[in-house]
Amino acid sequence: MGLTSPASKVAAERELRESSLNWSIVRFPFVYGDRDGHLESLPKYVGSWHPAQRMSTIHHRDIAAAMKLALDGTFDRRVVNVADEAPASIYELSDLIGARMESNAEPLANPWHLHVDSSLARSLGFRASVRTVYQAQQEGLM
């Protein structure tokens, strides 16, 4: 059985942290890029979500950079969240792929849900080369 549930991921991370191994845990938010279809499939998963909900993202190219830092030992014995520089709203992400969402004037129940604090990664030298989904779109990296 794979690590599919949040509870199983937390349990695996706990086991790793408590082991005598040299470890690092690198966490990623919504991953997209290189025509992987993730952004295009987003509307079928977020149809009932509030369109103003913002979500952290990371491009494939920057996962490679983060993993290089981890393999070089920069993240040793740390849990590191890695994300680009600007969370985008579900509305914005849908608009980027030509999908339309209805606007909603209701307040967000939890505005920080789906945000990733990547300040530790930045303090350890991580810099997103694809800083936003808009840069990815402009450079044809979607």
- 24-138 adopts what CATH topology? Rossmann fold (3.40.50)
> DSSP states of the chain as a string?
----SHHHHHHHHHHHHHSSS---EEE--EEE-TT-SHHHHHHHHHTTS-TT-EE-EEEHHHHHHHHHHHHTTTTTT-EEE---S--EEHHHHHHHTT-------SPPS-TTTT----HHHHHTT---SS-SHHHHHHTT--
- What is the average per-residue pLDDT within 79-90? 97
Kindly state the percentage of the chain with pLDDT values over 70: 97
What is the residue extent of each domain of the chain?
Answer: 24-138
pLDDT of residue 47: 76
User: What pTM was estimated for this model as a whole?
Assistant: 0.88
- What is the average per-residue pLDDT within 75-103? 94
pLDDT of residue 46: 85
Structure tokens at 114: 């789906």
pLDDT tens readout for residues 2-56: 446 788 889 999 999 999 999 999 999 999 998 999 999 988 888 789 999 999 9
